[in-house]
Structure formats: C-alpha cells, structure tokens
Amino acid sequence: MLKRETFEEELKHAIRSGDDVKKRTLRMLLTSIKIAEVERQEPLDEPELLILIQKEAKTRREAIEEAKRADRGDLINSAEDELKVLNDYLPQPLKPEELEELAHQAIEEVEASGPESMGKVMKVLMPRVQGRADGKTVSTLVKQLLSNS
C-alpha cells in the first residue's frame, strides 16, 4: 500500500546508500505530494497517490521527447533514470489482451449497443484499469469495439 511515509522511508534509504537518482526523484515526488495535500487540506489516499505518480511519470516522458528534439542526451538520460524510479511504484500495465477482455466485460455489463454508449462503458471501465492503462488507449479500444458491434 502506498503512503507518503513509504516514500519518506525510501528517501532515507536512498540518501544512506548514495543513490542520487532515486534521492532526486523521491524529493520531487514528495514535494508534489505535499503540494497536493496542502491544496486538499488532507492526506492523499492510495488512488490519488497513484494518479500523482502517473502524472510525474508523464512529465518525465514528455521531458524525454523534448530532450530528443533538442538533441540533449544528458537530459534524456536523466529523465529516463527518474522514470525508471517512478515506474517501480506504479502497478504493472495491463497486457493488450487483458485490457480487451476487461473492455468486453464492461460492454456486456452496460449492455452497450453502439458508439453512443461509449460514455457508459468508459465510466465502468476506467476505475478497473486505473493506473494500469492509458486513458487514450482505453478510449480508442472501446471506440473500436463499439463500432464493430
């Protein structure tokens, strides 16, 4: 179970072991967590922490793309190292066949008949794949499955 305290302990271990990449990444993550907690005025629960970690990971992926366009190998390596650390805290992504099976189940559950039912399917499916599949990928798959039915 993810908690802010978990990341604080991990940070202590990274400092003791001299792991600069993990230390830097966890400090940035803890800062984001603290900002979010101040805004909400209460601690984040596990799903909210997962969303925050995903957001940080997405930021790193975007930074990698920008660095590639600017031909900055040093920034690419740095962002990739940070992304690896963040990915350690995220659940394993769903395989395409697992995602498709979950989508079929959601379609049957809401008795979707065509593309006009996409909102209903997405409402049921997204909580099931939270943190394990990209929303854009899920949306594309559902749209494809509904147009074929």
Q: What's 41's domain CATH number?
A: 1.10.1510.10
Whether 140 shows a pLDDT value over 70: the answer reads: yes
Query: What pLDDT does 117 receive?
Result: 84
Cβ proximity of 107 and 120 under 8 Å: no
**Number of C-beta neighbours around residue 2 at 10 A:** 18
d(C-alpha 12, C-alpha 126), whole Å: 35
Place of tokens 């967590």: 33
d(C-alpha 36, C-alpha 42), whole Å: 9
Cβ proximity of 79 and 60 under 8 Å: yes
Can you read off the two tokens belonging to residue 86? 């963040």
Segments forming the whole domain that contains residue 129 = 96-148
Query: Do residue 78 and residue 9 come from a single domain?
Result: yes
CA-wise closest residue to 23 among 77, 85, 84 = 85
Query: What pLDDT does 41 receive?
Result: 94
Query: Do residue 49 and residue 115 come from a single domain?
Result: no
Query: What pLDDT does 149 receive?
Result: 63
CA-wise closest residue to 118 among 131, 132, 133, 103 = 103
Angle, alpha carbons 100-65-10 (nearest 5°): 75
Number of domains forming the structure of the chain: 2
Task: Give strand ranges (E) for 46-136.
Answer: none
Query: Do residue 79 and residue 17 come from a single domain?
Result: yes
The model's pLDDT over 26-47, given as tens digits with 9 standing for 90+, comes to 999 999 999 999 999 999 888 8
pLDDT (mean) for 57-68: 93
Query: Do residue 144 and residue 77 come from a single domain?
Result: no
Cβ proximity of 15 and 7 under 8 Å: no
d(C-alpha 49, C-alpha 47), whole Å: 5
